Amino acid sequence: MKGRWYGVGSAGSQNSYEVSLSDLKQGVDGSVEGKLTRFGNGCGADGEPLKGTFDGATLTFESTSKPGVNTRRMGGDCGVDKYSLKAESGSKSFAGTMGDKQGNSFRIDLSP
């Protein structure tokens, strides 16, 4: 799945960056594993492991972002990001939020 995440930067500018999930595997218990790649201002990810759950309606997972990886500038205060995405009715798309280490929340949209 791939898509975009959206947010407002510290200077008030609108940001929109690419994000993708790959190698997704779901266990019979609803556990989910895969890889996350995302771009950002100071923090990003390139094939970082993700782990979470999918209950048939909501996909929740965590993954680590790193400074200077797929970013526009260096020096980000990065860490574990938390994602909560709801399956959109009648499609294979997801929409929800990504929360970062600082407690900021960003909109994210993904589709196959």
As beta bridge partners, residue 33 has 25, 51
Q: Locate 20 and state its tokens.
A: 């993708």
pLDDT 10s digits, 51-98: 999 999 999 999 999 999 999 888 888 999 999 999 998 889 999 999
> What CATH number has the domain spanning 2-111?
2.40.128
Report the pLDDT value the prediction gives residue 80, as an integer from 0 to 100.
95
Q: How many CA atoms lie within 13 A of 16 on its CB side?
A: 4
Report the pLDDT value the prediction gives residue 9, as an integer from 0 to 100.
66
pLDDT 10s digits, 18-35: 999 999 999 999 999 999
Report the pLDDT value the prediction gives residue 74, as an integer from 0 to 100.
82
pLDDT band at 15 (very low <50, low <70, confident <90, very high): confident
Over 80: is that where the pLDDT of 13 sits?
A: no
**Nearest-5° angle of CA 87, CA 25, CA 78?**
75
Residue with token string 């510290």: 10
- Domain parsing of the chain, residue ranges: 2-111
